Amino acid sequence: MSGCVATGNDTLSPWQDEFDRIYEQSPSDFVRQIVSDGELTLAEMREAAARTVECYQLGGAEFFIKEQNHDRFTTALRVGDFESGADALNAIDPEVADHAFHCEARYWNDLADLWRLVRFNPHGDDFDTMMAYCLNRHFGLGELFTPEIMEQLQTGLPLTIELPHLDPYDAGVSACLVDPFHH
């Protein structure tokens, strides 16, 4: 296995261990088949999305996966008038929720995590380093954020410097936290 995403310009990837781990641990034959060749294609992600949605619907949940820009996927759950968020989660029947979580575990979670790794970080760059770089660039902070500071923020360790307040709901902050490689 080569551990890459098929994009028309395949290269070896540092994510081979993730392909192997998923192959060894997944309870799903479908997922094991997809990762067995060490590649993850957009067509395979679309198939995983379709199977997940079908599984959800069989369990009574209205769940959908939206594809954006031909390579990004977002998931949403609709319960009555609520779409995603706490209101939808609070309104869902517990049995339907259990079925939904089973569907995600069987068809979606491992592949979605792997897709983000191989598609958006194909070279295996350190996430904390890229997040720090993104925040510094976005807010014009020079080199205030470092990988060490990002780790302290994520683990709750005491900070070694005083940081400016950054609104976690700010679009720039959200973009850097979710996908620091493209912002």
Residue 75, pLDDT above cutoff 80: no
Instruction: Tell me the per-residue pLDDT of 143-153, one tens digit each, with 9 for 90 and over.
Output: 888 888 888 87
Instruction: Tell me the per-residue pLDDT of 101-159, one tens digit each, with 9 for 90 and over.
Output: 888 889 999 999 899 888 878 888 888 888 888 888 888 888 888 888 888 877 777 77
Question: Is this model's pTM higher than 0.85 or not?
Answer: no
Tokens describing residue 149: 């500071």
Q: What letter represents residue 35's amino acid?
A: V
Sequence spans of domains, the chain: 4-120, 127-178
CA–CA distance, 135 with 127 (Å, rounded to integer): 12
More confident call, 70 vs 165:
165
More confident call, 11 vs 172:
172
Q: What letter represents residue 157's amino acid?
A: L
Question: Lowest-confidence range among 2-6, 13-17, 76-80, 82-86?
Answer: 2-6
Reported confidence tier of residue 35, pLDDT bands at 50, 70, 90: very high
Q: Which residue has the tokens 């976690």?
A: 168
Query: Measured between alpha carbons, how far is residue 90 from residues 43, 57, 79, 93, 179 in Å?
Result: 33, 18, 9, 8, 28
CA–CA distance, 123 with 139 (Å, rounded to integer): 25
Q: What is the CA radius of gyration of the chain?
A: 19
pLDDT at 9: 40
